[in-house]
Amino acid sequence: DIVMTQSPESLAVSLGERATVFCRSSQSLLHSPINKNYLAWYQQKPGQPPKLLIHWASTRESGVPDRFRGSGSGTDFTLTISSLQAEDVAVYYCQQYFGTVRTFGQGTKVEIK
């Protein structure tokens, strides 16, 4: 199975500052024929199910604020929250869907400093 490794485990950022979450996969998630990376980002707030934020590594879902940006290709990916808001406090997960067996990263908890 493809192993997904996120870092850091947690981070505390001041309101309005940038938060950056990293995700690395054990093998490339790039599907070369269509030049798409099979990598998604989810946000899970306490007591709620996960919410899809980004797919194909950088395509935001409808309604997701543009302060959320996904980037990267191959094995290294980044989720950036450009200006952290109070409602962004959550655990963020990356997920690969390249393999038959999908796998998640272990999650990154984002808090307010």
Partner 1 sequence: EVQLVQSGAEVKKPGESLRISCKASGYSFSNYWISWVRQMPGKGLEWMGRIDPTDSDTSYSPSFQGHVTISVDKSISTAYLHWSSLKASDTARYYCARDQGLYSENDFWGQGTLVTVSS
Using the rule CB under 8 A, which residue among 16, 32, 86, 100 binds partner 1? 100
Count other Cβ atoms within 10 Å, centred on residue 94.
30
Helix (H, G, I), strand (E, B) or coil at 86: helix
- Binding of partner 1 by 28 (CB under 8 A): no
Only one of the segments 10-18, 50-58, 65-73, 77-85 lies at the binding site for partner 1 (rule: CB under 8 A); that segment is: 50-58
- Binding of partner 1 by 44 (CB under 8 A): yes
For residue 8, cis peptide bond before it (omega within 30 degrees of 0): yes
Burial of 41 (0-12, 13-18, 19+ CB in 10 A): buried
Helix (H, G, I), strand (E, B) or coil at 100: coil
Binding mask 51-90 for partner 1 (x = CB under 8 A): xx--x-----x-----------------------------
Q: Which residues bind partner 1 (CB under 8 A)?
A: 1, 31, 38, 40, 42, 44, 49-52, 55, 61, 91, 93, 95, 97-98, 100-107
